[in-house]
Structure 1
Amino acid sequence: MTYRRLLTSLASHPPSSLSSNSRLIPPYAQHLPSLAQTPSSSLRPPYEHTAQVANVKVVNRSLKSPMKFELLLSNPQNGSGASKLDQWKNEVLSNDQSRAGLEKRWREVVGGLERLRDGQNEVPQIAFQRLSSELSSASTVNKIKDTGLVVVRDVVRDSEAIEWAREVLLSVGERGGRAVYWHPSLLSARSNPSILSANSQVSSALLSSPEVYLKASTIIEGLHPQPIIPPTTSSDLWSTPGSLLSHLTLTPSIPNSSTIVSPTILAAEYAALRPFFRSIKSKISFYSSSSAEYLDLQNWELLDPSSPVGEMDLPHLKSIQIIHPELTPGDMVFYHSALPITTSPNSGQVFLPLQPILKGSEGSAQWVEEQKKAFEKGVPPPGEAVGDNEGLWLLEEKGERGMIGSRAGRDAMGY
């Protein structure tokens, strides 16, 4: 992520364009400015005036925290995912019974994708103030589970999300391009009652528990899936560890940029299974202009135990891919971690990952303690890699419980 390009891109959105994306859904529409706050010559909403403040904060930033410019050895990258996948591969592909189960599930998933080819594939969208009532409907929850994702609109104000992005990008610039994890704006976002409420409600609906910790991360550009270890049976894909990803949209979308998604949970399972299957004949082996023969189940086989993991292209999803609905600042998107959802390169749109971690899940207590220690030391949270070749990290300000602005936020951080 190039912070200078993103900051320039953010500055290119004048107040008029930001206001056109603002949706004054209650209770936000009820927060009216006083006469002392609003110029008498303007009837515009107060949200548009934040852009004028930003130029001042570049020089004298109210959220700027003192930092100790020290170097520290970083946390090692958590490589357990790769080792677990290798272990899974060796065990499953070497067992005839598990191989048969995997092949059976592959046929079921590809067959299900085929039936969706001519259907109307849509992404569920819910306004935040209706989230509770919508999620009380079993049919709505089942639709979200079957689709694999949901967009929750207007969780926070556009202006607030944009200002968080601006502050974080400026801080990254001051640190020579190094990421930040504990900036005051990130702490504000992670302790925001509306964000925590949305996370808790969706987690309750999809993961059957509202009790979650919040995984700290830095801002990212675009949306991207995270591979998982595939199930060997038709068990609920939402029951896999780390299955739910949550992202807060911080900046407006950029023209000529798009996010592509295959809106079905079958696509997530297909993406998890695909590396372990290969085509018997390549597409260029068929003289027909149609790819039907290439995609036919008879043309695909499970890898041998000694074979390397296959390619990561997803040919069976081409016919059901759609353009993801436009996301605007303050929106949140929740999706299964393996769901193929990818943003075009250099999209310019900034997101903050807010992945929920179920309390009581295996290893969660130890993990949240490690994350708290990282916060208090000013180092990256567990599993985050350091970009320096030397493996060194410029310390952020050391954190403490009182810096987290809400009780719910402190609870989500394990305090």
Structure 2
Amino acid sequence: MSKPELGPCPPRLVEVKQEIAASYPNFQERVTKAWADILGELEKVTAEIASQGPKAVPEVTFSELQNLSPERREDIRRNGCVVIRDVVDDTEAESWQAWLREYVTANPGVEGFPDNDKQFFQLYWTRSQVRARSHPNVLAVTSWLNNMYHVKSGAKIENVDLDTPLSYADRFRIRHPGVQWDAHPPHVDGGSIERWEDKVFRNCFAEILSGDWRKHDPYDLENRINARSSLYNRPNQFLQSTVFRTYQGWLALSETGPNQGTLQVFPNVGLSNAYTILRPFFTPVDSGSTDSFDLAAGNLVGCYISNPDFPGIYSMGSGFTGPRPNPETHPHLRLNETMVSMPQVCPGDMVFWHCDLIHAVEKQHTGTVDSAVMYIPAVPYTPQNAAYVERQRESFLKGIPPPDFPVGNGEITFTGVGTPDDIENPVGKRAMGFAIEVS
């Protein structure tokens, strides 16, 4: 898979910064004070994360979800990630992996990468994927996660049902040991420059931009459900998904853990949001220096609204990618130490991370067996999401890639392709768009 050409932000984006600065009273004074507070909090929190490693990721079992204490729920909310164990029986999960392997073998023309040894597959409609997405336990978990969200103001939002999960078709990987992957460094999905440019999306971070960053709630639905996460209608949308996913996630089909090509996260969603959103308004004191600025708060000054730079956001010609924080542009996150790997998981366990969370994939897989997962996020019923699922249903029936994904050859002629008959329960049928009405 070739990497896209990344370029600097265009000059017009200085207007976005200036518009934001003009929208909040005493912007420079308030965000400069907030920035110092954020850096102080990061110094403490990053040290804790680095010392904890994978233990920073909360772990629960499927059977205890409905009886979790408020303290454990708040731990999941604060960290923005969770491992949920025993969602699916391990033998069933293992059988799904076996079916995937049979599918790939029976259909040698499947699309994936690397070209010479395919491990990440551009496939969406295998029988395994259809059954996993529509499994009642999987949908119960995503509904539980959707209900981590709320409307902070108490306002009534019509036609939104957090108890009605929808299904977002994505792909799967079967990663081999010893193969290095460089395609997924730390990044945030679900929108790029849109976080600042789209006014509704921007309002998800209003407390941060007003200087009251500690009041920021990453789980507030009010603006989130109408935020435009893709303004540029680029193909291959999945990183800037047109669907609101409360959490991204995957289902383990094999054992996998640290140093085995697993997911990594920065486990504090509110703090990373605050830093990411305000970072474009600050610059190194010596802006002409080629050296990375260190962790001292004095090495960044603001409020910097006279240039178009949004560190971690890159132009791609027809749109933008990012945020892609790295140690040079976002040094206070200490990403070399704080991107913690998921703990060891078994077949049938699931891993989820908040839609704003910084995440990555380990470059190395030093284990001895393949690491296999299916990507299954948490998606609530909203009008926009339901409209997408209806289009996705038509893609399913035609055997072609879903609307958010690259146009491909499709799977309709493949041996073993999934069909609506593989959706074995009413909740799964509704989630897949075959009975979309809210109950």
Which TM-score band (shorter chain)? Answer: 0.5 to 0.7
Matched, 1:186 2:129: yes
**Aligned runs of 1:242-391 on 2, under 5 Å?**
242-253=245-256, 256-257=259-260, 259-270=263-274, 272-273=276-277, 276-277=280-281, 279-281=283-285, 291-293=294-296, 296=297, 298-301=299-302, 303-304=304-305, 306-311=307-312, 312-313=325-326, 314-318=330-334, 320-345=338-363, 347=365, 349-360=371-382, 362-386=383-407
CA distance in 1 between counterparts of 2:394 and 2:388 reads 10
Letter in 2 for 1:376: L
**Identity rate of aligned residues, in percent?**
23
State the superposition RMSD in angstroms.
Answer: 3.6
SS at 1:211's partner residue?
Answer: strand
CA-CA distance at 1:155 after TM superposition: 1.0
Q: 1:232 aligns with which of 206, 219, 222?
A: 206
2:126 partner amino acid: H
Aligned partner of 2:405: which letter? E
TM-score by length of 2: 0.63
Deviation at 1:260, TM superposition (A): 3.3
**Counterpart selection for 2:62 from 124, 128, 137:** 128
Alignment of 1:145-224 (within 5 A): 145-173=77-105, 174-178=107-111, 179-206=122-149, 209-220=162-173
Runs of 5+ in structure 2 lacking a partner?
A: 2-9, 112-121, 152-161, 176-183, 196-201, 208-214, 226-244, 313-324, 435-439
CA separation in 2, counterparts of 1:160 and 1:238? Answer: 33
Following TM superposition, by how much is the alpha carbon of 1:125 offset from its aligned partner in structure 2, in angstroms? 0.6
DSSP-derived class of the 1:237 partner:
coil
In the alignment, is the contact (CA less than 8 A) between 2:217 and 2:270 conserved in 1?
A: no
* Residue 111 (str. 1) matches residue 111 (str. 2): no
**Larger C-alpha radius of gyration, 1 or 2?**
1
1:407 shift after superposition: 1.2
Distance 1:271 1:117, change over 3 A: closer
Q: Which of 410, 415, 421 in structure 2 is aligned with 1:394?
A: 410
Q: Using the TM superposition, give the Cα deviation of residue 249 of structure 1 relative to its aligned residue in structure 2, in angstroms.
A: 1.4
User: Equivalents in 1 of 2:174, 2:31: separation in Å?
Assistant: 34
Taking the TM superposition and a 5 Å limit, the aligned residue runs for 1:77-92 are 90-92=15-17
Q: What is the Cα deviation at residue 376 of structure 1? A: 1.2
Change (3 A) 1:114 1:186: same
1:277-327 deviation per Cα after TM superposition (whole angstroms, max 9, x unaligned) = 55415799699x99333xx15514455365243233142222544343122
Secondary structure of 2:147's counterpart equals: helix
State the one-letter code of the partner of 2:349.
D
8 Å CA contact 1:102–1:232 kept in 2: the answer is no
Q: For residue 163 of structure 1, report the CA deviation from its aligned partner.
A: 2.6
Higher helix share: 1
Q: Counterpart amino acid of 1:404?
A: I
After TM superposition, the score normalised by the length of structure 1 is: 0.66
Give per-residue Cα distances to partners, 1:170-195, cap 9 Å, x unaligned.
Answer: 42352423222111111111121221
Please give the secondary structure, in 1, of the residue aligned with 2:373: strand
- The 1:91/1:123 distance shift into structure 2, 3 A limit, reads same
- Determine the C-alpha separation between the residues in 1 that align with 2:100 and 2:11: 37
Task: Give the match for residue 63 of structure 1.
Answer: none
Task: Check 1:112–1:266 CA distance in 2 against 1; reply closer, same or farther (3 A cut).
Answer: farther
Distance 1:254-1:363 versus aligned 2 partners, 3 A rule: closer
Instruction: Tell me, in whole angstroms, the C-alpha distance in 2 between the residues paired with 1:188 and 1:207.
Output: 29
Report matched runs for 1:57-68 at 5 Å. none
